[in-house]
A and B are shown apart, each in its own frame.
Chain A
């Protein structure tokens, strides 16, 4: 039917590398393969080196794994800087994330083999424990990054955060004027719903989407129980009910948005502080090992 002119897209391709792949599948799982190979070599080496009397971190193989592990930990922690330091150059944060994920997971094998399965109540095991906390929180992070974005997009229905809040404010203005003819008691219910701070809830409420004492729900329950008038009547109470229903729907969207965002971010509040603690414990671990050489 038609011919497309042959155009040299090569330059643009090279420049933008717009391959449509997520961070997990980056370059056909390049970093999964590398991390897998590293783990395999570490395990084989563990048995091949046959340290006597039993494997430990002080053997030549233990030092090798320890050095690799320490370098990896420092490098993995640098993702935080890389992400924020927008320098020029042919790097992509997606590749960094991909490597961060798979090499971070490989650290389970490298770190554990480095211990030689010797644990105790000391700074060495503390460092190991912190490392595992960081990795486990990271695994949670990977799982939510893989599963939640679609839900976030579905919930937003093309509305930005600002638009959601503005839509709520618009409903509130209408509710405010519609509630004018109500009696004192019912007006108080509406005022309570309007006065409640949308964002004044704790982390627990956000994460679980459980908003006990939500005054909009209370007010809606009051008006919704009254079906004495025909549907679509001009009674102010019916108008208020309809508006309260709209308010609840809008509030639910905002709350779902906050819940998903909280689930996507909450792990970072463990991952990052634990990383800082890990770096401190790691320093103590290395210094003490060399001090008692």
Chain B
């Protein structure tokens, strides 16, 4: 009978390490299983010298291992030492292939080794997954590696890179960068072009190919790996090339498949879903526990605390309060009445519709990202036009929405259990109405990320939010004293449709009769005039369209297509007509809007004959701007190159208004008809950078600006996610001598961003050592006078515009004339 452990911990990241350390401390028989030959692979793979942050700072660390913000090396060394000192039983180079059995007798299969037996399993395997292996004979040979740490350490080798993504191209370029290393580098691409890679990387690769530094083989895949040889399948048959090393960069397999194969259920089908967990981190498969990033907690401190907690629970310490207990207690302190943390959690869960399916564990995590508040009757919760991207749930009491901005006495009630503020969540725009408490009310405010995560992982919450938000959007859009009952027919028939960029929603001349509302994204309206499509207008989120054909009973008069990836709600036209028939005020309003729309259309059509070139130019300019991301922007910097003298005062002003680093690159970017879109933040309606920010440090500020606060941990996710390349990672530079001492005595680097060497030298002199963090345009929020780039432009070339104001015929036509 082989040895049976009380607990097997799989994965030696912060969560797994902390669990194993706790097990060792309390004398539990344990084994820590790690796939690679070192501990904590994710942190190990960070670049050398990377500063690792310890957030959230208000969360206490509860672990037998130490952790504080510091250099990657220091953290890893500390853990290595403490693991050795704590007599933690580690097995490296052990890849788990399957887990079978039940509580008390799990069998953990190890690739190429004896299976391990344990009573309980703790899984802390993170979300990185395993790299895809080559699928050909010889794929297990040692000359294949899946990662390249330092391209400078290989000399005089034939190296083949497999994979046509950015990782593969960057590796190949790195290996061929220095001709003195004398490597012969080949990159294989199964297809004929590098469609998955960034354009800049492809350009560099093609240049390296033209210069003969890299051999690029297209439509080629590996057929067999041999010692120092690689057989290739090419378009013209098989070919054998010398090969001493293979770098395989063909993507990775997310761990979900493995986890599900162990019998563990997830909360939902989409990518953001997590395993279903009990308060003691137990999955739906009894005896297997999941902690850390895989459980949905990407921050190191959270992970380490969970490692500690899960072992305590296994050890029978069921009264253990989670480490976040004091934080939650503090949050609930502000609420009226005396209830325990658990009681409050239960109150919120039971009363708020969208929270009903959550486990206590999920409730706790949600609460960490949320705030709770109590309001007296009549107290304002938020005001119309306030910025805000959070969503509220009513736990006790009810609120009144002031639907008519001119008359606060016109209100609509929202009852206990329902939600409000969800429009800001979906469209990222300002609050549509003022909301007050109708009676003593207790609400929970979910941050945008917390709410989105909830919607993505809890189907019932998603359904509830969807129905409510459609109803609210209709009420807000139509105004005119409509009530919930009036739009009930529309809401019931509503269908949410995803539209990819460029897809036509309404085709000119067609005779379908649906009405649409833009829920997110934006649309452009085009009309065929004189054989060419002419840009008519730009429609931001929160707009309805398609009613003209329904009301007139005519064919579609123009084409509407998505400017960017959008979401529209489709309603049957007849229901809309019935609503208009019931509500004369709404009908009048709709008619007036349609009349003004017809007027603009016919104006542009008439101009087309007399000033055809102006209309063409206007259409082209509008299209250019939308291609460059203006369609999803809320506020963007443009440069009129008929005025720009290239003094770069905008960049200097930007650096001097912030911490000394410029957040814009004037020269880079696209230009059309002397209208230049520099590399600078567009403050997207739905910021790509917000998508994956572990500490939730990216927020939308009071003027609609998207900014990064000082909880940034410098992970670089936002930089990678931004399609416009406007985020840079850099350390805050040391302060410069004053302007006067530069003017008079030539001290310091002068106005603008100091050179890299000055910053580095000066920082070393002052002993400053700060980690890199992400910086981007914050629209100079908090700076009186507004954006420095615009204020500092001597010629008026730099302007900031919002698309709905700028993408209009009058504005653009006057500019091109």
Contact = CB atoms under 8 A, between A and B. Distances in A.
A177 B788 CA distance: 48
A194 B590 CA distance: 69
A21 B668 contact: no
Contacts of A2: 525, 537, 539, 543-547, 560, 593, 597
A170 B207 CA distance: 7
B401 interface: no
Top-5 shortest CB links A-B? A153-B641, A2-B545, A86-B656, A160-B667, A94-B796
Name, among A15, A16, A89, A160, the residue most crowded by chain B CB atoms within 10 Å (CB to CB). Answer: A16
10 contacts: A5-B542, A15-B786, A18-B790, A83-B649, A86-B657, A86-B788, A88-B783, A94-B795, A97-B795, A173-B211
Interface string B741-780: 0010000001100000000000000000000000000000
Interface stretch (A67-75, A142-150, A225-233): A142-150
A264 B645 contact: yes
B640 A20 contact: yes
A86 B805 contact: no
A7 B751 contact: no
Interface stretch (B408-416, B462-470, B608-616, B669-677): B669-677
A128 interface: no
A269 interface: no
Interface of A: 1-5, 7-9, 11-12, 15-23, 26, 81, 83-86, 88-94, 96-97, 145, 148-150, 152-153, 156, 158, 160-162, 170, 173-174, 177, 261, 264
Given A149-B644, A153-B676, A18 B210 contact: no
Contacts of A81: 739, 743
Nearest to B642: A150
B211 A1 contact: no
Contacts of B728: none
A264 B648 CA distance: 13
A5 B543 contact: yes
Contacts of A91: 785, 791
A220 B764 CA distance: 49
Contacts of B800: 16, 18
A5 B385 CA distance: 12
Given A2-B537, A92-B791, A149 B642 contact: yes
Interface residues of B: mostly helix, strand, loop or mixed?
Answer: mixed
B786 A17 contact: yes
B531 interface: no
Interface in B596-641: 597, 601, 635, 640-641
Name, among A86, A88, A158, A160, the residue most crowded by chain B CB atoms within 10 Å (CB to CB). Answer: A86
A84 to B, nearest CB: 4
Given A1-B594, A12-B635, 10 more contacts: A2-B560, A16-B635, A86-B653, A86-B792, A92-B791, A92-B793, A93-B792, A97-B795, A153-B671, A174-B211
B212 interface: yes
A88 B210 contact: no
A88 B540 CA distance: 32
A148 B645 CA distance: 8
A7 B430 contact: yes
Interface in B178-216: 207, 210-212
A47 to B, nearest CB: 37
Contacts of B544: 2-3
Nearest to A169: B207
Contacts of B792: 83, 86, 93
Contact of B211 (A20, A90, A150, A177): A177
Contacts, number: 169
A93 B787 CA distance: 12
Interface residues of B, number: 78
A209 B783 CA distance: 44
B704 interface: yes
B548 interface: yes
Given A88-B784, A153-B671, A93 B739 contact: no
Interface of B: 207, 210-212, 385, 429-430, 476-477, 525, 536-537, 539-540, 542-548, 557-558, 560, 590, 593-594, 597, 601, 635, 640-646, 649, 652-653, 656-657, 665, 667-671, 674, 676, 703-704, 739, 743, 750-751, 783-788, 790-797, 799-802, 804-805, 811, 815
B671 A86 contact: no
B671 A158 contact: yes
Nearest to A167: B207
A83 B640 contact: no
B557 A86 contact: no
B794 A23 contact: yes
B643 A16 contact: no
Nearest to A8: B385
A86 B652 contact: yes
Contacts of B539: 2, 4
Contacts of A261: 646
Contacts of B811: 20
Name, among A19, A92, A93, A177, the residue most crowded by chain B CB atoms within 10 Å (CB to CB). Answer: A93
Name, among A8, A148, A153, the residue most crowded by chain B CB atoms within 10 Å (CB to CB). Answer: A153
Contacts of B548: 1
B641 A152 contact: yes
A5 to B, nearest CB: 5
Contacts of B750: 84
A221 B324 CA distance: 78
Given A4-B804, A149-B641, A261-B646, A16 B787 contact: yes
A164 B674 CA distance: 19
A183 B620 CA distance: 51
Contact of B796 (A23, A88, A150, A264): A23
Contact of A149 (B430, B593, B597, B643): B643
A4 B522 CA distance: 11
Contacts of A152: 641, 644-646
Given A1-B525, A170-B207, A22 B543 contact: no
Nearest to B814: A20
A89 B785 contact: yes
Name, among A26, A81, A160, the residue most crowded by chain B CB atoms within 10 Å (CB to CB). Answer: A160
A253 B494 CA distance: 57
Name, among B211, B557, B784, B791, the residue most crowded by chain A CB atoms within 10 Å (CB to CB). Answer: B791
B552 to A, nearest CB: 11
A1 B527 CA distance: 12
A16 B669 CA distance: 22
Contacts of B739: 81, 84-85
Given A5-B477, A83-B794, A160 B668 contact: yes
Contacts of A89: 784-785
A137 to B, nearest CB: 15
Given A1-B594, A3-B544, A18-B790, A170 B642 contact: no
Contacts of A5: 476-477, 540, 542-543
B533 to A, nearest CB: 15
B670 A12 contact: no
Contact of B670 (A1, A158, A174): A158
B780 to A, nearest CB: 9
A81 B742 CA distance: 11
B265 to A, nearest CB: 42
